[in-house]
């Protein structure tokens, strides 16, 4: 299913990016960067976040303090999810 019509990204694209990335991807901005695109309208950000959480599964809830996913989650909270450029 297409989740980002601006960049034609599917739910499978997002899941693949999460599972194959060296670093844990925790927000839409990181997914866009990994897939070589950027946010346009931003309407897909919540759906992408939901897919990320599902793809990480139990790990997202149960990470230990030293886990790379926990560190990425902490870093992601400090960043805005996406930023739109002024036209």
pLDDT at 62 over 70: no
% of the chain residues with pLDDT over 90: 39
Taking the C-alpha atoms of residue 75 and residue 79, their distance in angstroms, rounded to an integer, is 7
Mean pLDDT of 9-24: 87
Q: What does the angle CA 17 – CA 35 – CA 31 come to, to the nearest 5 degrees?
A: 60
Taking the C-alpha atoms of residue 85 and residue 14, their distance in angstroms, rounded to an integer, is 23
Mean pLDDT of 25-38: 89
- Which of 37, 71, 32 shows the shortest CA–CA distance to 52? 32
Taking the C-alpha atoms of residue 87 and residue 80, their distance in angstroms, rounded to an integer, is 19
Q: What is residue 83's predicted lDDT score, i.e. its pLDDT? A: 54
Q: What is residue 1's predicted lDDT score, i.e. its pLDDT? A: 93
Report H helices in 10-57: 11-20, 28-34, 45-56
Mean pLDDT of 5-34: 89
Mean pLDDT of 8-27: 87
């Amino acid at each position: 299913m297409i989740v980002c019509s601006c960049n034609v990204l599917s739910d499978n694209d997002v899941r693949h990016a999460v599972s194959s990335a060296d670093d844990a991807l925790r927000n839409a901005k990181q997914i866009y960067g990994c897939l070589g695109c950027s946010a346009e309208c931003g309407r897909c950000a919540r759906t992408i976040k939901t897919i990320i959480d599902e793809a990480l599964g139990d790990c997202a809830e149960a990470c230990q303090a030293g886990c790379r996913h926990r560190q990425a989650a902490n870093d992601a909270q400090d960043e805005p999810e996406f930023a739109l450029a002024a036209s």
